[in-house]
Amino acid sequence: MQNKINHSQVKLSTRVQEILSCPICNTQLELRSEDCQCRNHECKAVFPVIKGIPILIDEESSIFSINDFLENRNTTIDLSPKNHFFENFKRFIPNLSINIKTKKNYQQLIKLLLVQSTKPKVLVVGGSILGQGTEVIVDNPNIELVETDVSFGSRTTLICDGHSLPFADNSFDGVIIQAVLEHVVDPSRCVKEIHRVLKDDGLVYAETPFMQQVHGGSYDFTRFTHLGHRRLFRKFEEIDSGATCGPGMALAWSYHYFLLSFTTSKFLRKLIGLFVKLTAFPLKYLDYLLINQAGTFDAASAYYFIGKKSDQILSDKQLLKLYKGGC
C-alpha cells in the first residue's frame, strides 16, 4: 500500500491540493509520500515533489523538463551565487522602473474578489518572487494565494508551466499574471488556460510590457500594444485597463539599452547600468504627469488589464472602437 503524503510537507493548503490535476490529461492527482500520480489509468503520469513543492510539468508542451528541477538547473531565474557586495550596493542606487498604478489596481482587485468570496483562492502565474506593488494583496489575510512559477524562488509553492496549468476547471476566484506573458512562447494558450481554471465570473489581473527591451535573455518573446493586450483577453469582460508604466520609464530603458549595445563585457555593462540609473532615473517621475494622457496609450512601457471571465467574445470590429491613443 502506498504511503499517504504528509500534508504538512507540501506547501499547498488542503483545499488547493484537492483541485490539483494532471497537466497532461487534466485528471485529478493522487498525492503520495514523495510524488503525485495521475489517477487516469491510461495516463499514470508521476510527478516528483521536491522539498514540499510539486513539479507538475507536461514535458511535451513545455520548454522545461522535470530534470531541470530535479537537478536544480537555472531556468528563468539565475540561481548561481550573487556578489553580495554588489547586490547590497544596488540597494542605494535609484531604479529606472516605476509602476504608477499597480498598488491601486491590486486594491481594486481585492475589493472585487471579496465581493465574490469571503476567502477567495487566487492563482499567481509567475509568482516565485514578489512583483512590484503586490505587497498589498500578499499581506491580505482573507486571500489565499497559490504562487506558481517555472523557477524555484522564495515564494514558489508549485512548479508548473502556464501553457498547461495543473488545476481543475473552474477552480479559482482570481488569477494574477504580472510581467509574465512576454516570457511565454504562446501567450494565447496561457490566457486560454487562465480562462479554464477560473470560476464563472472569476477575475484576472495582467500586466504586460509594450516598450521595453529584452530583460529575460532567451526567455523573452513578445510585446503588446494596449489593443493587442485587450485582444489577448477577448474572452473576458473588461473592468479596467490602461498604462501602468509610462513613456518616461520607456525612455529610460531605451537609453540604458542604447548604451549597453556598445559592449558585451559584463564589467562594462554593470558600470553602464550604474551610470544610467544615476543619470536617467528622474525620467520615470514624468510618468506621474503622463500616465493618463491619450498619447501614453501609444508609448507606455507596460499595460494592465482587469477583467471578468465571460462567455462572450470581443470581436475585432469591437476591438478597434476601443482605441484611446493620440494618433
Q: What is the mean pLDDT of residues 169-194?
A: 97
Pick from 131-135, 200-204, 310-314: least confident: 131-135
The helix (run of H) or strand (run of E) holding residue 243 is: strand 236-245
In this predicted structure, the answer to whether residue 1 has a pLDDT above a threshold of 50 is: no
The confidence score (pLDDT) of residue 82 equals: 62
Q: Is-contact 37 29, C-beta < 8 A?
A: yes
Pure H helices in 163-246? 187-197, 226-232
Tell how strand 302-309 and strand 236-245 pair up. Answer: antiparallel
Domain boundaries, the chain: 7-56, 85-320
Confidence band of 83 (pLDDT split at 50, 70, 90) = low
In this predicted structure, the answer to whether residue 2 has a pLDDT above a threshold of 80 is: no
Give the chain's mean pLDDT.
92
In this predicted structure, the answer to whether residue 84 has a pLDDT above a threshold of 70 is: no
**Percentage of the chain lying above the pLDDT 90 cut:** 82
pLDDT digits (tens, 9 = 90+) for 128-151: 888 888 899 999 999 999 999 999
The confidence score (pLDDT) of residue 25 equals: 96
In this predicted structure, the answer to whether residue 208 has a pLDDT above a threshold of 50 is: yes
The confidence score (pLDDT) of residue 105 equals: 97
pLDDT digits (tens, 9 = 90+) for 247-293: 999 999 999 999 999 999 999 999 999 999 999 999 999 999 999 99
Identity at 152, one-letter amino acid code? F
Identity at 321, one-letter amino acid code? K
Cell (9 digits) for 200: 464563472
In this predicted structure, the answer to whether residue 3 has a pLDDT above a threshold of 50 is: no
The confidence score (pLDDT) of residue 235 equals: 98
Pure H helices in 213-311? 226-232, 247-260, 266-280, 287-290, 296-299
Domain made up of 85-320: CATH architecture: 3-Layer(aba) Sandwich (3.40)
CA angle 192, 198, 204 (to 5 degrees): 80
Q: Is-contact 96 280, C-beta < 8 A?
A: yes
Q: Enter the pTM of the model.
A: 0.93
Distance CA 78, CA 97 (A): 20
DSSP 114-125: HHH-SS-EEEEE
